[in-house]
Structures are given as structure tokens and as C-alpha cells.
């Protein structure tokens, strides 16, 4: 007996793309292919221009910089090929693709206008291989200055943040502290807008060492915004929250720790962000004026000796330090304030 099979009931044949069958990344298919190859091509171009284009003068570490760019292009190629096997890494690589292209193009432009055509004359403008030379030859000194700056900044920010937080909670909650805050608020209005660096001569005169004076100035720059915004956050908590908690038998300690402070935490983190930004400015000025170590001191030393490559290297390290600490602060904020995750971005 012969049976007729309807073509509509025939099993569907699924065609698996070659990239998926071999475990390769999806960037190799369709319009997304350029996202995989554009960063690789850009960094290979940077490596080729650095290594083979004639220079106006001999700069050390040129071959090392070209090899570094070539090696980074190789890492991008490996990530593009095997990114599908590491989902998180592949997703991050796809998102960073345009920025990697821009970064390579900026490196090419920097290399051309300095080392290749000398449109920006040395020693005021140095090529990227000179920055690499500084990091290789004096990396230990920059790392030591970074450790001093991080320690000084950490002490000032922690002290200022704790004092500002406690003072803000007290002014916003306690009636006695609020009474004193009635007199202290005008003082904060006068002192708050003043930059902490304006107190530099008084601080170095009043404190026994330049390090303690710098910690005081950094704590002042951090503590004032934290105090004001914590005070504002605690004072602006809806009174209905307190009434509901009291109805359920909550004590004053519970109201402070479980109601007032959690509700004020968004304001606290805004104050910490503002204080951290001000603390960096104070850190650099304080190290330039009196502290004998740190990135600010290194900047002044490099400028005095005309070592502009060293100055640019220190500026790059300082920018990375600032960006890393702010990013860490926002990560802590997103973890503690999960209901506001993504509301503020950095």
C-alpha cells in the first residue's frame, strides 16, 4: 500500500550557520561583520604606521609600541573569533568595538602629528611611544607616587565622608542638632561655596605637617557636600513613613537606621560624588604646594624639568585613578540602591 506524504507535513530542514556550527562568533555573518573586523584593522593600521612610516627624529620604544598595538589587534581577533563561546566577553567586545576604533584612530592621529610630521614640536608634544617609555623606565616611581596619592585621598575622603554623613543625619533628624543647624546653616552657606584650596595657607599654618594639612583639606572638600545633601535627604523623608513605622511599634533607633538613612541614601551618594570630584582637585593642589610625594608632586617635578612626556604619563594615571574610583562608587551605589539601578550612570 502506497502512502502519500503531504509536503506541508514533511519535516523542516534546519540549516545551522557555519559560524554557529564551528563555535565562531556571530559577528562574521551579515551586517555585523564590520564590528568584528573594524577594530582589528584600525589597530593593525596603527601598528603599521608606527613601525614603518619614517619619523622626523628617533624616538625610543617605537618598536615596542608598534608591537603592543599589533598584540592588541591579535587579542581582538581572538576575541572576535571565539567571543561566542564566552558570552559576557563577546557582548562587551561588541559594545566596545566603536570605541576601540576611535581609540586607534586617535592614536594614529597622535602618531602622525608628532612623530611622523612633527606638526606639534617636541618636547612640548610627545608621541605615544614616549609615554610608553616613561611608563617602562619610571613605572616604579609613578607607582610609588600613585600609592601616596591613593593613601592621602583615601584618608581624606573617608574622614570627610564619615563626619559629613554623621553630621547630616544628626542635623536632619535630631531636634537639638537641628537647633544648632539653624545657626550652622548660614555658616555652611558661606563656607560651602568656597573651594577647599582657598584654605590652603591656613591649613598649612595650623597643622604640624603638610600631610595632615592635605588630609584636612580633602576631608573638608568631601565633608561639606556630604553633610548638606545628607541633611537634605533626611529632612525630606516623607513623614508618612515614620507614622507607619511608629504604628507598628518602631523605636527611634529603628526609624533612624531603617527608615531615615535608607531613604536618604540617594542624596548621600550624590554628595559623595560631588565630594570625590572636589577632593581630586584639592589633592593635586596640595601635593604641588607642600606634600613631597604623590602624582601632583610628580606633575610639578616633571614640569619644572621640562619632562613633558612624564607629565602626560602622570596625567593619564591620574585620569585612570579618578575614573576608577568614580566607577567603583557607582557600582556600590547600584548594589546598595538596587531599586534605582541605572537611574544615574557614569
Average pLDDT over the chain reads: 81
pLDDT tens track for 5-22? 444 444 444 444 444 444
Domains and CATH numbers, the chain: 18-135 (no CATH), 139-339 (1.10.3720.10)
- 206, 283 contact by CB (below 8 A): no
In the chain, % of residues over pLDDT 70? 80
Distance in angstroms (rounded) separating the CA atoms of residues 306 and 255:
59
Distance in angstroms (rounded) separating the CA atoms of residues 230 and 224:
10
pLDDT tens track for 119-169? 988 888 999 999 999 989 888 999 999 999 999 999 999 999 999 999 888
| Predicted TM-score (pTM) of this structure | 0.77
Query: For residue 150, which of 313, 270, 296 has the smallest C-alpha distance?
Result: 296
Which region holds residue 11: left if phi is over 0, alpha if psi is between -120 and 50, else beta? Answer: beta
pLDDT class for 176, splitting at 50, 70, 90?
low
Per-range mean pLDDT, top range of 91-100, 104-113, 117-126, 257-266: 104-113
Average pLDDT over residues 172-195: 66
DSSP state for residue 26 in the 8-state scheme = G
pLDDT class for 109, splitting at 50, 70, 90?
very high
Q: Residue 3: is its pLDDT beyond 70?
A: no
In 3-state terms, what secondary structure has residue 237? coil
Distance in angstroms (rounded) separating the CA atoms of residues 272 and 151:
18
Distance in angstroms (rounded) separating the CA atoms of residues 146 and 151:
9
Peptide bond preceding 123: is omega within 30 degrees of 0, i.e. cis? yes
pLDDT tens track for 287-311? 887 777 888 899 988 988 888 999 9
Identify the residue with better confidence: 50 or 337.
Answer: 50
DSSP state for residue 118 in the 8-state scheme = -
Grid cell of 217 as nine digits: 583639606
- 28, 16 contact by CB (below 8 A): no
Quickly count: other Cβ atoms within 10 Å of residue 117's Cβ: 12
pLDDT tens track for 186-225? 667 777 777 888 888 888 888 888 888 889 999 999 999 9
Identify the residue with better confidence: 96 or 55.
Answer: 55
Distance in angstroms (rounded) separating the CA atoms of residues 292 and 145:
10
Amino acid at each position: 500500500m502506497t502512502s502519500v506524504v503531504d509536503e506541508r507535513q514533511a519535516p523542516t530542514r534546519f540549516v545551522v550557520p557555519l559560524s554557529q556550527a564551528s563555535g565562531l562568533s556571530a559577528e562574521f555573518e551579515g551586517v555585523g561583520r564590520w564590528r568584528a573586523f573594524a577594530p582589528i584593522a584600525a589597530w593593525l593600521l596603527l601598528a603599521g604606521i608606527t613601525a614603518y612610516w619614517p619619523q622626523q627624529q628617533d624616538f625610543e620604544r617605537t618598536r615596542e609600541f608598534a608591537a603592543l598595538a599589533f598584540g592588541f589587534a591579535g587579542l581582538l581577533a581572538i576575541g572576535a573569533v571565539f567571543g561566542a563561546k564566552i558570552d559576557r566577553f563577546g557582548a562587551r567586545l561588541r559594545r566596545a568595538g566603536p570605541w576601540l576604533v576611535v581609540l586607534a584612530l586617535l592614536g594614529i592621529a597622535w602618531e602622525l602629528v608628532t612623530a611622523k610630521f612633527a606638526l606639534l614640536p617636541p618636547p612640548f608634544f610627545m608621541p605615544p611611544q614616549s609615554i610608553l617609555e616613561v611608563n617602562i623606565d619610571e613605572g616604579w616611581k609613578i607607582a610609588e607616587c600613585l600609592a601616596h596619592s591613593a593613601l592621602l585621598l583615601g584618608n581624606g575622603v573617608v574622614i570627610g565622608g564619615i563626619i559629613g554623613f554623621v553630621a547630616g543625619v544628626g542635623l536632619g533628624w535630631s531636634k537639638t542638632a537641628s537647633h544648632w543647624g539653624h545657626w550652622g546653616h548660614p555658616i555652611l552657606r558661606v563656607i560651602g561655596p568656597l573651594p577647599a584650596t582657598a584654605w590652603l595657607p591656613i591649613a598649612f599654618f595650623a597643622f604640624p605637617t603638610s600631610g595632615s594639612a592635605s588630609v584636612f583639606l580633602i576631608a573638608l572638600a568631601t565633608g561639606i557636600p556630604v553633610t548638606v545633601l545628607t541633611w537634605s535627604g533626611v529632612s525630606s523623608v516623607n513623614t508618612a513613613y515614620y507614622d507607619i513605622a511608629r504604628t507598628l511599634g518602631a523605636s527611634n533607633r529603628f526609624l533612624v537606621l531603617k527608615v531615615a538613612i535608607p531613604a536618604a541614601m540617594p542624596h548621600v551618594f550624590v554628595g559623595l560624588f560631588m565630594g570625590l570630584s572636589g577632593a581630586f582637585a584639592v589633592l593635586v593642589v596640595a601635593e604641588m604646594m607642600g606634600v613631597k610625594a604623590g602624582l601632583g608632586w610628580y606633575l610639578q617635578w616633571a614640569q619644572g624639568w621640562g619632562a613633558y612626556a612624564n607629565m602626560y604619563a602622570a596625567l593619564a594615571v591620574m585620569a585612570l585613578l579618578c575614573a576608577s574610583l568614580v566607577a567603583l562608587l557607582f557600582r556600590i551605589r547600584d548594589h546598595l540602591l538596587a531599586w534605582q539601578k541605572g537611574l544615574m550612570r557614569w
